[in-house]
Structure 1
Amino acid sequence: MRLSRDEIKMKLKEWNLAWNKHDLEKVMELFHEDVFFENWTGAYVKGKKNLRKVWASWFENHGNFRFLEAETFVDEKVQKVLYRWVLEWPSMEPDFEDKPEIRKGVDVIHFKDGKIINKLTYTKTTLEIDNTRYSLHL
């Protein structure tokens, strides 16, 4: 099943809405059973069931967060997306706990059979708090 450009954009809109509603089950509906996810640290997970387990604790423990779409590039022919985002959430950084924090990143997303099969996440190594940029504690 190949998605049209408009179908891919609609799936991403649904996906972003599910993230911002903190609806893990709705987020997971858009993933292929054989999904490969690599986060910004290089850690990775294979398989939808394993990804759900990893993300369940993230959804439960990371407070109020939301993703804002900054820019999206869709290549319908190869079923790939470059999705640039901004994450707003309460900081967990030392000395800034619970202050509003902004992180910026990019997801490289591949679709197969109408579902997300690969999600590769890259993020800046800086964050913003009170309009000041700080290095992440890596």
Structure 2
Amino acid sequence: MDHTEARRFAEEWAAAWNSHDLDRIMTHYADDVVFRSPLAARIIEGSDGVVRGAEALRAYWAEGLRRNPGLRFEVVAVYTGLDTIVIAFRHQTGRPAAEVLTFRDGLIVSGMGALGPDGP
């Protein structure tokens, strides 16, 4: 994926999240996706922060959207690798975060969320 494609994807990714449309969000993910997140560790009991499969990911994000009705992401930067992109973004609270997303056949098969510091 070149940088132009990665940037386009990141903008659509953020727009999907900002719409709170779970179906739109999930169009980016493969059925066998594995996602790791420190937030998942807090929300999904016994998960150790690892969510396996699109159905489990949908359930996790449905709960996240329910808990955060004002959720909004702003893309700050996009980095490209061979089959991976990194999206640096800010939450509606101003908190920085990033997602590392690995693709296969145009869909995300592996993702990792990372959070920046809470304060300014």
TM-score (norm 1): 0.73
| Unpaired stretches in structure 1, ≥5 consecutive residues | 89-100, 134-138
Structure number with higher strand proportion: 1
Alignment: residue pair count:
112
Q: How does 1:1-138 map to 2 (within 5 A)?
A: 3-40=1-38, 41=41, 43-75=49-81, 78-88=82-92, 101-124=93-116, 126-128=117-119, 133=120
Moved over 6 A (4+): none
Identity score, percent: 24
Aligned-residue Cα RMSD (Å) equals: 1.7
Say which one has the larger Rg.
Answer: 1
Task: Compare relative contact order (CA 8 Å, sep 6+) and give the higher one, 1 or 2.
Answer: 2
Q: Which has the higher helix share?
A: 2
Task: Deviation per CA, 1:19-52: give whole Å up to 9, x if none.
Answer: 0111111000010111111113561101001100
Deviations 1:60-89 (A, max 9, x none): 2211111111111112xx21111111001x
The TM-score, its normalising length taken from structure 2, stands at 0.83
